Structures are given as C-alpha cells and as structure tokens.
Structure 1
C-alpha cells in the first residue's frame, strides 16, 4: 500500500475565521510542513511549530503516523505548493502556493499542475494507493470548487462549530471576482480550481487520475475536500471506480449529505471510527468533541487497519502525542492547531463511535477493529 500525500498552502487560509490552522499567519504557513515531518519522523524537525490546538488536539498527522506504526504503508509526500520548507523528503512538481480565492485567479496554473501530477501518478507501479492532503483552508476552497461545478455543496470544518456561512460568503466573493455564477464551470473542473480552488486540488486529482491510468486503484483519504476532488475527476471524464475513506467525525457531522454526495459521484464511501471514546486521553477527547475531524489522509489510512488492531493504533497515537508534548489529561498550550480542513463502509462497520451515526450505503450488522 502506498500513501501519496499532497502538502500545500493557500492564502485563502488567512481569511479571518476560516481556518484553525495557526495562531498567526506566519505559523499557519508552517502547518503542512510540520505535518509531513510528523509523518516521517514523529515530530517537527525543521518547522518551528507543533500543530496542536490550545485544548490539546493534535493534527491528524499524529493519527496517520500512528497507523503507519501498525500497518505497512509506504509514503511519498508531494510538494503541492508549500509556503515554507520542510525537513521531510518531498517530490517536487513545480507547484506554487495558492492565492486568496477572492482574487480573480486562485490557482493560475491549475491545468499544468494537474497534468504534471497525472504524469507522476502514471509512472508509479500499479497498486492500491491512498491519496491524501494537508492544506489549511482546504474546506473553503472545496466549497468554492463544488459551487463552481454546480454540485450540491456541503463541507466540514476542523472547528467544533463549522463557520459555513462565512465560507459561503467568501466563495460568493470569489465567484464574483472571477466573473462566474454557480455551475458555470460544469464540465470544466480545472477552470473551477483556477478560479476558486487551491493547488492541492489539481495535484491530488492528477495523482489519482495517473494512478488509475496505470491500472492502479485509488482511495481518496479525507472528508469533504475529497468529495470536491472526486467531483473534479468526474467532471474531467474520469469514470474509474474511486473510494472516499473518511472518519466517523466527518460522517457524524455531515450525515446523509456525505452519503448523497458519494452516491451522486458514484464513489464508494468508507467511514472509520478509531474508537477514541474509549481512549481516556485529552487528544482523543478533543476529536470526540468535534475538533480536527480529518486530514493528512487520516480516514484513508484508518480504513487499512486490520481487524483487532485498532487498539494498537490508539496506543501508538498516545505515544506520538507524548512525543509532541501533549499531556494525557491536561490541555496543551503549545502549537497552533490545524486547518480546515473508523471505518464502517458499505458492508462493514468498525469500533464504537464518539457520536452515534447511521450506517453508510449498504451497511450491515457486524463490527471491525479491536
């Protein structure tokens, strides 16, 4: 199994109240760089921030790191517009950070980025691939792209209370600046990204398309941001089977809207609950309270955890939190939080949930996990 993680930035994240990814704009720009260092080394090594909220909620990178200690997952990080350097190895595709989507063009070279990422994806051995992302502000740009494509739009948030009204106003301003109405980019997804997206979107979509071109299979690891990527692929004429694997935290917030989106885009939906309600650790409590929810391919890699191994993932998660300086019972004052940014699937469910939720399409009785 191979994880391709696209890491980038967009000035959209700097809009007040949009992202929880940093205590200041300068710190926020380092968040994706720190995320990939945590995946590679277990802690930041060059980035000057540790992405942990003041309440003790770590970046989802900590969960993905924990899963990699239990499940054999190769990692390739794609520089999809990092604004600050990272100490982790990356694949460079010449992607620049995105601008504020309220400008006339948010990603001027979206089409070129997509093609370069598609070429890289097609060069990989044909295998099952999880494609994930880390980009502060990404749910707002996801809303922008979905709206421009004319897709019914609902997106999640890393904040306990989703500032969806604010995001919608930002998207409206972006469409107006680009001279667009909702739905004007139907069938032209790269135009939608160019106008109101972020550089991670054409990177992830291109990687997925390339892997499919080569005969591999793709799991889009993430929440509503991956719904936007799936919409981009479908509007680009990619009709291969695709799965979206997310967390119970996103599914609990989105409910039937997430299932409807996956049905409309003909994507299988996999929803994993990591069982954090049984964890007894402040970091797990914060996820159960609605912080973070998803990101850094968290839902994608959790879907790979074999039966009986979720408890081991939780143990490794606590170890990662210890390394990040998060006390097991007290909120942490270090770090900056992460931006906006279990598996039950059609036919299976995993672990208990921090919040009750209905099963996904085609679900049946039974449990999975430890």
Structure 2
C-alpha cells in the first residue's frame, strides 16, 4: 500500500479570525514541512516547529506516524506548494504556494497543476493508494470550492468550536473578489479551485484522477477537505469508484454531515475510531474534546489498521508524543522549545488537521 501526502501552504490561513487566536504566521508556514518530517522521521528535523497546541494536542501527523510504525506502508510526499523547506524527500511538481482567497485568483495555475499531478498519478505502479493532505486554512478553501460548485456540504474544523460563520464570511468575500456567485463553477471545478481554493486541492484532484485513469483504486484519506476534492472530481466528470476514509472525530461533527454528502457524491465512506476514549494521555483526550480531528492522511491510514493492532497504534502514538515533548499530563515547553514550540503555538499550529480553520 502506498500513502501519498500532498503538502502545501496558502495565505488564506493568515486571515485574521480564521486561525485560532495567537497563531504566529511563521508557525503556520512551517507546519506542513514539519508534518512531513514527523511522518518520515518521527520528529521535526529541519523545520523549527513542533506542531503541538498548548493544550497538548499534536498534529495528526503524530497519529499517522504511529500507524506507520505499526502498519508498513510506502510513503510518497508531493510538494504541493510548500512555503518552507523540509528535510524529507518530496516529489516536485512545480506547485507554487497558494494566495489569499480574497484575491481575484487564489491558485493562478490550477489547471496546469492539475495536469502535472494527473500525469504523476497515472505513472504510479500501485494497485491502490491512499492520498492525504496537509495545508493550513484547508477547510476554508474547501468551503470556498464547495460553494462555488453549488454543493450544500459543510466543513469541519481543527477547533472544538467550529468558526463556521467566519469561514462563510471569508468565502462570501472571496467569491465577490473573483466575480463569482455560488454555484457559478458547477461546470468548471478547476475554475472553482483557481478562484477560491488552494494548490493542494488541485494537486490531490490531479493525482486521484490520474491514478483512477490507470486503474488504481483511490482512497482520499481525510475529512471535509477531501469531500471538496471528491466534489471537484465528480463535477469534472470523473465517475470511477472513489472512497473517503476519515476518523470518527470528523464523522461525529454535525458541521460535516459526511454520510449524506458521500451518498450524494457516490463515494464510499469508511470511518475509523482510534479508540482514544478512556485513555488518560492528554493528547488523546484533546482529540476526544474536538481538537484536530483529522489531517495528514490520518483517517486513511487508520483504515489500514486491523482491529487487533489498534492498541499498538495507541501505544506508538504515546511514544511519538513523547518525542514531540508531550508527556501523558501535557506539553513540556522546555523540551519542545528546540523545535519551535512555545506560547505562541496554538490549535491552528496543527494545521494539517481537518483542517486549520
């Protein structure tokens, strides 16, 4: 099994009120690069950031890494618009970072990015792949694309309280800036991504389309951000079987309405509960409280875990947390400081989650 992670950044995440209070812009830009390193090496290497909230909630990359230490899978990371360097090897598809969706164009070369990613997806030698993402601000761009497509789907959040009204206000402004009305891009999904989306969407959609063209089974590993990509593919005329695999944390979020949306988009839905409830480790408690929920392929890789191995995943998750400076009772700021964690880090420093708001 191959897991493909598309990692990128967008200036949308810097919009005031979209990210959780106190987030530092430099942390936002570094988070996807750190996510990649955690998934590849178990901890940040080049990146000066440890994506951990002050409450002790780590990026979903920690869960995905824990699964990787239990379930063997191949990993391919695609640079889908990284703004900061990473110590992990990546596939370079010449994807620039995304702009602010309130600008007339958020992804100027969305069609070209899609085609390059499609060629890459078609070249994969695998029978099946899981495609995940990490991009700050991803649920806001997801809402933008869904609205431009005329899809009535909702989006989740990495925060316990979803700032949905803020996202809707940003999307309304973004559509006005692009001279678009809701549903205006019903027949032009790449136009929707170009106007109010992000480069990770164009990349993942292209990879999925190319892989499906070549006969590879595709699972989109993620939550409502992957719903937006699935919607874009369906509006582009892609009729191949498509699956979405997510976590119970997203599935239980009433903002997401995942089951009805997947039915409408003709996508199989797999929901996995990692069994964090009842565990005393602070990181598991924060996930159960509604932080992070999903991202960095978390739901996709959890779907690969046999029932008898989930306890081992939880144990490995605690070990990964310890490497990130999170003990059972909370964050050790001193040990985490060497990787850039500190009082300025916040819930949206887990921006790979579904998603950074």
Q: Give the TM-score taking structure 1 as reference length.
A: 0.90
* Higher RCO structure, 1 or 2 (CA under 8 Å, sep 6+): 2
For each residue in 1:251-283, what CA deviation from the matched residue of structure 2 results, as whole angstroms up to 9, or x when unmatched?
Answer: 111378211110000000111100001322000
Provide the residue aligned with 1:285 in structure 2: 285
SS in 2 for 1:278: coil
For residues 243 and 290 of structure 1, what CA distance do their matches in structure 2 show?
Answer: 24
8 Å CA contact retained: 1:189, 1:235: yes
Q: In the TM superposition, what is the alpha-carbon distance from 1:153 to its structure 2 partner?
A: 2.8
For each residue in 1:221-273, what CA deviation from the matched residue of structure 2 results, as whole angstroms up to 9, or x when unmatched?
Answer: 00000000000100111100011000000011137821111000000011110
8 Å CA contact retained: 1:19, 1:338: no
Provide the residue aligned with 2:250 in structure 1: 250
For each residue in 1:62-109, what CA deviation from the matched residue of structure 2 results, as whole angstroms up to 9, or x when unmatched?
Answer: 000000111111000000000000000000000000000000000010
Provide the residue aligned with 1:204 in structure 2: 204
1:262-273 alignment runs, 5 A limit? 262-273=262-273
For residues 310 and 179 of structure 1, what CA distance do their matches in structure 2 show?
Answer: 48
For each residue in 1:44-70, what CA deviation from the matched residue of structure 2 results, as whole angstroms up to 9, or x when unmatched?
Answer: 000001000000000000000000111
Q: In the TM superposition, what is the alpha-carbon distance from 1:331 to its structure 2 partner?
A: 4.2
SS in 1 for 2:252: helix
Unaligned runs of 5+ in 1: 342-370
8 Å CA contact retained: 2:12, 2:137: yes
RMSD of Structure 2 on Structure 1 (CA): 1.3
SS in 1 for 2:84: coil
For each residue in 1:125-158, what CA deviation from the matched residue of structure 2 results, as whole angstroms up to 9, or x when unmatched?
Answer: 1411000000000000000000000000300000
Provide the residue aligned with 2:29 in structure 1: 29
Provide the residue aligned with 2:66 in structure 1: 66
SS in 1 for 2:225: helix
8 Å CA contact retained: 1:125, 1:214: no
SS in 2 for 1:270: strand
Moved more, 13-22 or 213-222: 13-22
Provide the residue aligned with 1:234 in structure 2: 234
Distance 1:178 1:81, change over 3 A: same
For residues 261 and 100 of structure 2, what CA distance do their matches in structure 1 show?
Answer: 26
SS in 1 for 2:184: coil
8 Å CA contact retained: 2:156, 2:256: no
Provide the residue aligned with 1:366 in structure 2: none
Provide the residue aligned with 1:175 in structure 2: 175
Distance 1:208 1:22, change over 3 A: farther
For residues 19 and 127 of structure 1, what CA distance do their matches in structure 2 show?
Answer: 38
1:181-200 alignment runs, 5 A limit? 181-200=181-200
Q: In the TM superposition, what is the alpha-carbon distance from 1:22 to its structure 2 partner?
A: 7.7
SS in 1 for 2:83: coil
For each residue in 1:196-243, what CA deviation from the matched residue of structure 2 results, as whole angstroms up to 9, or x when unmatched?
Answer: 000000100001111111111000000000000000100111100011
For residues 264 and 313 of structure 1, what CA distance do their matches in structure 2 show?
Answer: 33
Match of 1:338 among 346, 350, 354: 350
SS in 1 for 2:244: strand
Unaligned runs of 5+ in 2: none
Q: In the TM superposition, what is the alpha-carbon distance from 1:17 to its structure 2 partner?
A: 2.4
